[in-house]
Homo-oligomer: A and B are copies of this chain.
Amino acid sequence: MTIQPLIDHFESYLPFDENEKELFQSRVTHRSLKRRHFILQEGFPCKHYTFVVEGCFRMFAVDTKGNEHNIKFAIENDWIADIGSFHSDKPSKLFIEAIEPAVILQIEQQDLYFLYTHIPKLNQILRVIVEDKYVELQNRVLQNISSTALERYLTFQEQYPTLSRRLPNTQIASYLGITPEFLSKLRKDIASS
């Protein structure tokens, strides 16, 4: 019901006055979702920036053979959206699915643009947030081009211990770019060493 988690998130960067908070209140939508619910499907434009209050999401693509590839997970206090589709209004090639029952706060495109206009410092906050995400993603690219599957798995466990415990291994395998069977083998190798 309340958008307080989002306010808190923004205020961890910069403070807002009551006026500004009311603007948020009027432009942010609160939703609860069941497991397996999709908030984005291939072929449709991504209409929202979604802030996760509770639960866990995955963003994935489906290749020509029908295999799913997890591009990103998002848990509490993280954002998830197909940014490219969101800004261009073009059909997305991605899916976003709730892996657990979830509570989210969503901002639609025109509302986000309204907020950027009336609360300019929001640009600064989002710039900083996206820069941080960019660095994270760049580290993942480096891992992908420089490490073996085993190293990638160990790094994932270290870097995202929460996710590592919450997610089925099959989802983790898809994120790492390997088959579940091979991940199972790696886990066996680790256990017996």
Chain A residues near B (Cβ < 8 Å): 61, 63, 67, 69-72, 83-84, 87, 116, 120-121, 123-124, 126-127, 130-131, 133-135, 137-138, 140-142, 144-146, 174-177
Contacts and interface: CB of A to CB of B under 8 A. Distances in A.
27 contacts: A61-B142, A61-B146, A63-B146, A69-B142, A70-B145, A71-B138, A71-B142, A71-B145, A83-B131, A84-B135, A120-B120, A120-B121, A120-B124, A121-B123, A123-B123, A124-B127, A130-B130, A130-B134, A133-B134, A134-B134, A137-B137, A137-B141, A144-B145, A144-B177, A145-B174, A145-B175, A146-B177
A50 to B, nearest CB: 15
Main DSSP-derived SS at the A contact region = helix
